[in-house]
Homo-oligomer: A and B are copies of this chain.
Amino acid sequence: MKVALFGAGRIGKVHAASIKMDPRSELVAVTDVMQEAAEALAQDHGIEARGADDILADTSIDAILIASSTNTHSDLIEAGVKAGKAIFCEKPIDLSLERALQVSATAANHDKPMMMGFNRRFDPNFSALKAALDAGEIGSSELLSVTSYDPAPPPVSYIKVSGGLYRDMMIHDFDMCSFLFGMPTTVTAHGSCLVDPEIGAAGDIDTAVVVLSYADGRIATIRNSRRAPYGYDQRVEVLGSGGALAADNELENTVVKSTSAGVTSAKPVYFFLERYMRAFSIEWSAFVDAVVDGKAVPATIQDGVNALALAEAANRSLAEGRPVEVAPFLSEA
Protein backbone atom coordinates (compact mmCIF):
# COMPACT_ATOMS: atom_id res chain seq x y z
CA MET A 1 0.00 0.00 0.00
CA LYS A 2 1.57 3.23 -1.21
CA VAL A 3 1.12 6.32 0.93
CA ALA A 4 1.65 10.02 0.38
CA LEU A 5 2.12 12.33 3.34
CA PHE A 6 0.65 15.83 3.47
CA GLY A 7 2.57 17.82 6.05
CA ALA A 8 6.23 17.39 6.99
CA GLY A 9 6.11 18.98 10.44
CA ARG A 10 6.47 17.36 13.83
CA ILE A 11 3.41 15.13 13.59
CA GLY A 12 4.11 14.36 9.95
CA LYS A 13 7.50 12.95 10.92
CA VAL A 14 5.88 10.78 13.57
CA HIS A 15 3.50 9.35 10.99
CA ALA A 16 6.31 8.83 8.48
CA ALA A 17 8.08 6.67 11.07
CA SER A 18 4.89 4.68 11.68
CA ILE A 19 4.42 4.08 7.96
CA LYS A 20 7.97 2.76 7.82
CA MET A 21 7.44 0.41 10.76
CA ASP A 22 4.44 -1.35 9.20
CA PRO A 23 5.82 -3.65 6.49
CA ARG A 24 2.53 -3.43 4.60
CA SER A 25 2.73 0.31 3.95
CA GLU A 26 5.30 2.30 2.00
CA LEU A 27 5.79 6.04 2.06
CA VAL A 28 6.28 7.15 -1.53
CA ALA A 29 5.78 10.90 -1.52
CA VAL A 30 5.54 13.94 0.74
CA THR A 31 4.27 17.46 0.26
CA ASP A 32 4.33 20.56 2.43
CA VAL A 33 3.76 24.28 1.86
CA MET A 34 7.19 24.69 3.42
CA GLN A 35 9.20 23.23 0.55
CA GLU A 36 12.31 22.85 2.70
CA ALA A 37 10.49 20.76 5.28
CA ALA A 38 9.13 18.51 2.55
CA GLU A 39 12.60 18.12 1.01
CA ALA A 40 14.20 17.29 4.35
CA LEU A 41 11.67 14.61 5.20
CA ALA A 42 11.84 13.25 1.65
CA GLN A 43 15.61 12.94 1.91
CA ASP A 44 15.43 11.15 5.27
CA HIS A 45 13.12 8.57 3.75
CA GLY A 46 14.68 8.34 0.31
CA ILE A 47 11.51 9.53 -1.38
CA GLU A 48 10.27 12.45 -3.44
CA ALA A 49 8.86 15.79 -2.35
CA ARG A 50 6.03 16.49 -4.76
CA GLY A 51 3.18 18.91 -5.30
CA ALA A 52 -0.20 18.18 -3.73
CA ASP A 53 -2.06 18.05 -7.02
CA ASP A 54 0.57 15.79 -8.53
CA ILE A 55 0.13 13.37 -5.63
CA LEU A 56 -3.64 13.39 -5.84
CA ALA A 57 -3.48 12.70 -9.56
CA ASP A 58 -1.09 9.77 -9.15
CA THR A 59 -3.24 6.66 -9.37
CA SER A 60 -0.44 4.47 -8.03
CA ILE A 61 -0.86 6.11 -4.62
CA ASP A 62 -3.43 4.27 -2.52
CA ALA A 63 -3.73 6.48 0.50
CA ILE A 64 -3.05 9.98 1.71
CA LEU A 65 -2.13 10.88 5.25
CA ILE A 66 -3.19 14.44 6.12
CA ALA A 67 -0.92 15.89 8.80
CA SER A 68 -0.82 19.46 7.52
CA SER A 69 -2.19 22.47 9.40
CA THR A 70 -5.80 22.30 10.58
CA ASN A 71 -7.10 24.85 8.10
CA THR A 72 -6.19 22.56 5.20
CA HIS A 73 -7.87 19.39 6.49
CA SER A 74 -11.35 19.93 5.04
CA ASP A 75 -10.18 20.76 1.55
CA LEU A 76 -7.72 17.89 1.50
CA ILE A 77 -10.30 15.39 2.67
CA GLU A 78 -12.61 16.51 -0.10
CA ALA A 79 -9.79 16.36 -2.64
CA GLY A 80 -8.83 12.91 -1.40
CA VAL A 81 -12.39 11.69 -1.72
CA LYS A 82 -12.56 13.05 -5.25
CA ALA A 83 -9.26 11.39 -6.11
CA GLY A 84 -10.45 8.05 -4.75
CA LYS A 85 -7.79 7.75 -2.07
CA ALA A 86 -8.03 6.06 1.28
CA ILE A 87 -7.70 8.92 3.75
CA PHE A 88 -6.14 9.21 7.18
CA CYS A 89 -6.60 12.69 8.63
CA GLU A 90 -5.24 14.21 11.81
CA LYS A 91 -7.89 15.70 14.09
CA PRO A 92 -9.74 18.04 13.93
CA ILE A 93 -11.60 17.93 10.63
CA ASP A 94 -11.99 21.71 10.81
CA LEU A 95 -12.32 24.44 13.40
CA SER A 96 -15.78 25.11 11.98
CA LEU A 97 -18.35 22.52 12.90
CA GLU A 98 -20.48 23.60 9.95
CA ARG A 99 -17.66 22.95 7.53
CA ALA A 100 -16.89 19.64 9.24
CA LEU A 101 -20.49 18.56 8.75
CA GLN A 102 -20.21 19.38 5.03
CA VAL A 103 -17.02 17.38 4.69
CA SER A 104 -18.53 14.52 6.60
CA ALA A 105 -21.49 14.50 4.20
CA THR A 106 -19.10 14.49 1.24
CA ALA A 107 -17.14 11.61 2.72
CA ALA A 108 -20.26 9.63 3.56
CA ASN A 109 -20.37 7.90 0.20
CA HIS A 110 -16.63 7.47 -0.20
CA ASP A 111 -15.89 3.83 -0.91
CA LYS A 112 -12.41 3.90 0.59
CA PRO A 113 -11.50 3.91 4.29
CA MET A 114 -11.54 7.35 5.90
CA MET A 115 -10.07 7.53 9.39
CA MET A 116 -9.54 10.32 11.91
CA GLY A 117 -6.32 10.45 13.94
CA PHE A 118 -7.67 10.07 17.44
CA ASN A 119 -4.43 8.54 18.61
CA ARG A 120 -5.41 8.09 22.24
CA ARG A 121 -7.86 5.35 21.32
CA PHE A 122 -4.77 3.30 20.43
CA ASP A 123 -2.81 3.96 23.60
CA PRO A 124 -2.27 0.47 25.07
CA ASN A 125 -3.50 1.63 28.47
CA PHE A 126 -6.71 3.19 27.25
CA SER A 127 -7.44 0.40 24.83
CA ALA A 128 -6.89 -2.17 27.60
CA LEU A 129 -9.31 -0.21 29.78
CA LYS A 130 -11.82 -0.11 26.94
CA ALA A 131 -11.46 -3.85 26.36
CA ALA A 132 -12.09 -4.58 30.04
CA LEU A 133 -15.10 -2.28 30.02
CA ASP A 134 -16.53 -3.91 26.90
CA ALA A 135 -15.93 -7.33 28.39
CA GLY A 136 -18.17 -6.34 31.29
CA GLU A 137 -15.40 -6.67 33.85
CA ILE A 138 -16.92 -3.90 35.97
CA GLY A 139 -20.55 -4.43 35.02
CA SER A 140 -22.48 -1.49 33.64
CA SER A 141 -20.62 1.81 33.64
CA GLU A 142 -21.78 4.81 35.67
CA LEU A 143 -19.14 7.53 36.08
CA LEU A 144 -16.25 8.44 33.80
CA SER A 145 -13.44 10.81 34.63
CA VAL A 146 -10.85 11.95 32.12
CA THR A 147 -7.82 13.89 33.34
CA SER A 148 -5.71 15.53 30.67
CA TYR A 149 -3.08 18.10 31.56
CA ASP A 150 -0.35 19.32 29.22
CA PRO A 151 3.10 19.86 30.74
CA ALA A 152 3.25 23.50 29.64
CA PRO A 153 1.11 25.86 27.58
CA PRO A 154 1.92 26.49 23.91
CA PRO A 155 2.97 30.00 22.79
CA VAL A 156 0.16 32.55 22.91
CA SER A 157 0.60 32.97 19.15
CA TYR A 158 -0.52 29.36 18.80
CA ILE A 159 -3.38 29.81 21.27
CA LYS A 160 -4.73 32.63 19.11
CA VAL A 161 -5.22 30.40 16.06
CA SER A 162 -5.98 27.21 17.95
CA GLY A 163 -9.74 27.52 18.05
CA GLY A 164 -9.68 27.62 21.84
CA LEU A 165 -9.03 25.02 24.54
CA TYR A 166 -12.18 22.99 23.92
CA ARG A 167 -11.53 22.56 20.18
CA ASP A 168 -7.77 22.35 20.38
CA MET A 169 -7.03 20.40 23.54
CA MET A 170 -10.18 18.95 25.07
CA ILE A 171 -11.22 17.61 21.67
CA HIS A 172 -9.12 14.52 22.49
CA ASP A 173 -10.95 14.09 25.77
CA PHE A 174 -14.34 14.56 24.15
CA ASP A 175 -13.37 11.76 21.81
CA MET A 176 -12.15 9.64 24.74
CA CYS A 177 -15.60 10.05 26.32
CA SER A 178 -17.30 9.11 23.05
CA PHE A 179 -14.94 6.15 22.70
CA LEU A 180 -15.79 4.85 26.17
CA PHE A 181 -19.31 6.09 26.86
CA GLY A 182 -20.79 7.16 23.49
CA MET A 183 -22.41 10.54 22.85
CA PRO A 184 -23.85 12.55 25.74
CA THR A 185 -27.00 14.62 25.63
CA THR A 186 -25.83 17.67 27.57
CA VAL A 187 -22.58 19.55 28.06
CA THR A 188 -21.87 21.81 31.05
CA ALA A 189 -18.63 23.72 30.73
CA HIS A 190 -16.50 25.56 33.27
CA GLY A 191 -13.27 27.29 32.48
CA SER A 192 -10.79 29.80 33.82
CA CYS A 193 -7.55 31.47 33.00
CA LEU A 194 -5.20 30.53 35.83
CA VAL A 195 -1.98 29.54 34.09
CA ASP A 196 -1.09 32.54 31.98
CA PRO A 197 -2.99 35.86 31.87
CA GLU A 198 -1.92 36.33 28.25
CA ILE A 199 -4.01 33.30 27.35
CA GLY A 200 -6.95 35.07 28.94
CA ALA A 201 -6.07 38.27 27.11
CA ALA A 202 -6.20 36.25 23.90
CA GLY A 203 -9.77 35.32 24.76
CA ASP A 204 -9.07 31.74 25.75
CA ILE A 205 -9.02 29.68 28.95
CA ASP A 206 -6.25 27.40 30.20
CA THR A 207 -8.02 25.48 32.95
CA ALA A 208 -11.32 23.70 32.41
CA VAL A 209 -13.80 21.24 33.79
CA VAL A 210 -16.59 19.92 31.58
CA VAL A 211 -19.38 17.60 32.66
CA LEU A 212 -21.14 15.41 30.08
CA SER A 213 -24.56 14.02 30.95
CA TYR A 214 -25.88 10.92 29.21
CA ALA A 215 -29.48 10.02 28.46
CA ASP A 216 -29.29 6.98 30.70
CA GLY A 217 -27.97 8.89 33.71
CA ARG A 218 -24.26 8.22 33.30
CA ILE A 219 -22.02 11.22 33.92
CA ALA A 220 -18.54 11.99 32.55
CA THR A 221 -16.14 14.62 33.85
CA ILE A 222 -13.20 16.05 31.93
CA ARG A 223 -10.46 18.07 33.60
CA ASN A 224 -7.98 20.04 31.50
CA SER A 225 -5.06 22.24 32.31
CA ARG A 226 -2.47 23.70 29.99
CA ARG A 227 0.17 23.19 32.68
CA ALA A 228 1.25 20.28 34.87
CA PRO A 229 4.80 20.94 36.07
CA TYR A 230 5.45 17.22 36.56
CA GLY A 231 4.68 16.32 32.95
CA TYR A 232 1.89 15.09 30.73
CA ASP A 233 -0.94 13.82 32.95
CA GLN A 234 -3.25 11.50 31.04
CA ARG A 235 -5.57 9.35 33.08
CA VAL A 236 -8.99 7.77 32.78
CA GLU A 237 -11.23 6.32 35.49
CA VAL A 238 -14.53 4.51 35.18
CA LEU A 239 -16.83 3.44 37.99
CA GLY A 240 -19.25 0.66 37.18
CA SER A 241 -21.80 -1.46 38.96
CA GLY A 242 -19.20 -4.17 39.56
CA GLY A 243 -16.06 -2.15 40.25
CA ALA A 244 -13.76 0.45 38.79
CA LEU A 245 -11.13 0.70 36.08
CA ALA A 246 -8.33 3.25 36.03
CA ALA A 247 -5.60 3.84 33.42
CA ASP A 248 -2.67 5.70 34.94
CA ASN A 249 0.26 7.58 33.46
CA GLU A 250 3.36 5.94 32.07
CA LEU A 251 6.48 6.91 33.96
CA GLU A 252 9.93 7.70 32.59
CA ASN A 253 11.33 4.66 34.34
CA THR A 254 10.55 2.36 37.26
CA VAL A 255 13.30 3.55 39.59
CA VAL A 256 12.25 4.51 43.12
CA LYS A 257 14.62 6.40 45.40
CA SER A 258 14.05 6.32 49.15
CA THR A 259 15.90 8.81 51.31
CA SER A 260 15.22 10.85 54.42
CA ALA A 261 13.47 13.31 52.08
CA GLY A 262 10.85 10.79 50.99
CA VAL A 263 10.23 8.10 48.43
CA THR A 264 10.60 9.43 44.89
CA SER A 265 9.52 7.88 41.60
CA ALA A 266 10.11 9.08 38.07
CA LYS A 267 7.74 11.57 36.52
CA PRO A 268 5.20 10.77 33.81
CA VAL A 269 6.77 10.80 30.35
CA TYR A 270 7.03 14.41 29.29
CA PHE A 271 4.52 14.98 26.51
CA PHE A 272 2.41 13.39 23.80
CA LEU A 273 5.27 12.25 21.60
CA GLU A 274 6.73 10.25 24.47
CA ARG A 275 3.42 9.02 25.81
CA TYR A 276 1.68 8.23 22.55
CA MET A 277 4.53 7.08 20.29
CA ARG A 278 3.31 3.50 20.47
CA ALA A 279 -0.27 4.69 20.01
CA PHE A 280 0.62 6.46 16.76
CA SER A 281 2.16 3.28 15.44
CA ILE A 282 -0.78 1.08 16.47
CA GLU A 283 -3.16 3.66 15.03
CA TRP A 284 -1.43 3.55 11.68
CA SER A 285 -1.55 -0.22 11.58
CA ALA A 286 -5.28 -0.05 12.25
CA PHE A 287 -5.66 2.16 9.19
CA VAL A 288 -3.59 -0.26 7.13
CA ASP A 289 -5.84 -3.07 8.42
CA ALA A 290 -8.80 -1.13 7.07
CA VAL A 291 -7.25 -0.44 3.68
CA VAL A 292 -5.57 -3.80 3.14
CA ASP A 293 -7.84 -6.19 5.02
CA GLY A 294 -11.13 -4.33 4.85
CA LYS A 295 -11.45 -4.09 8.60
CA ALA A 296 -13.71 -1.44 10.13
CA VAL A 297 -12.11 1.95 10.67
CA PRO A 298 -11.80 2.42 14.45
CA ALA A 299 -12.08 6.24 14.41
CA THR A 300 -14.48 7.53 11.78
CA ILE A 301 -15.17 10.95 10.35
CA GLN A 302 -18.39 10.88 12.38
CA ASP A 303 -16.21 10.56 15.49
CA GLY A 304 -14.43 13.69 14.28
CA VAL A 305 -17.74 15.51 13.86
CA ASN A 306 -18.94 14.33 17.27
CA ALA A 307 -15.87 15.63 19.07
CA LEU A 308 -16.21 19.00 17.33
CA ALA A 309 -19.89 19.18 18.23
CA LEU A 310 -19.05 18.63 21.89
CA ALA A 311 -16.40 21.34 21.72
CA GLU A 312 -18.90 23.74 20.18
CA ALA A 313 -21.48 22.89 22.81
CA ALA A 314 -18.86 23.47 25.50
CA ASN A 315 -18.03 26.88 24.02
CA ARG A 316 -21.68 27.85 24.12
CA SER A 317 -22.13 26.46 27.64
CA LEU A 318 -19.18 28.46 28.90
CA ALA A 319 -20.37 31.61 27.17
CA GLU A 320 -23.91 31.32 28.46
CA GLY A 321 -23.20 29.85 31.88
CA ARG A 322 -25.67 27.00 31.53
CA PRO A 323 -25.91 23.36 30.44
CA VAL A 324 -26.29 23.03 26.67
CA GLU A 325 -27.98 20.27 24.65
CA VAL A 326 -25.75 18.46 22.15
CA ALA A 327 -28.30 17.31 19.58
CA PRO A 328 -28.82 20.64 17.80
CA PHE A 329 -25.11 20.88 17.08
CA LEU A 330 -25.12 17.60 15.22
CA SER A 331 -27.91 18.64 12.86
CA GLU A 332 -26.65 22.17 12.44
CA ALA A 333 -25.64 22.17 8.85
Contact = CB atoms under 8 A, between A and B. Distances in A.
Interface of A: 23, 44, 124-125, 128-129, 132, 137-138, 140, 142-143, 145, 149, 188, 190, 192-195, 207-209, 211, 213, 217-219, 221, 223, 225, 227-230, 233, 239, 241-268, 321-323
Contacts of A229: 241-243, 258-260
B211 A254 contact: no
Given A213-B190, A225-B142, A245 B257 contact: yes
Given A143-B223, A217-B207, A323-B322, A263 B254 contact: no
A193 B217 contact: yes
A208 to B, nearest CB: 8
7 contacts: A192-B218, A207-B217, A244-B259, A247-B253, A247-B254, A250-B254, A263-B266
A277 to B, nearest CB: 11
A217 B192 contact: yes
B244 A228 contact: yes
Contacts of A258: 228-230, 233, 243-246, 267-268
Contact of A217 (B138, B194, B221, B248): B194
B266 A262 contact: yes
Contact of A267 (B142, B223, B230, B263): B263
Contact of A138 (B254, B257, B262): B257
A132 B254 CA distance: 13
B125 A255 contact: yes
Given A149-B239, A243-B257, A211 B190 contact: yes
A3 to B, nearest CB: 19
Q: Which interface residue of A193, A194, A323 has the most chain B CB atoms within 10 A? A: A194
Nearest to A249: B254
Nearest to A247: B255
B249 A128 contact: no
Contacts of A223: 143, 145, 221, 239
Contacts of A228: 239, 243-244, 258
A217 B207 CA distance: 9
Nearest to A250: B254
Nearest to A123: B253
A315 to B, nearest CB: 16
Contacts of A239: 149, 223, 225, 228
Nearest to A251: B263
A217 to B, nearest CB: 3
Contacts of A138: 257, 259
A251 B263 CA distance: 10
Contacts of A188: 188, 190, 211
A123 to B, nearest CB: 9
Given A213-B190, A229-B243, A257 B219 contact: no
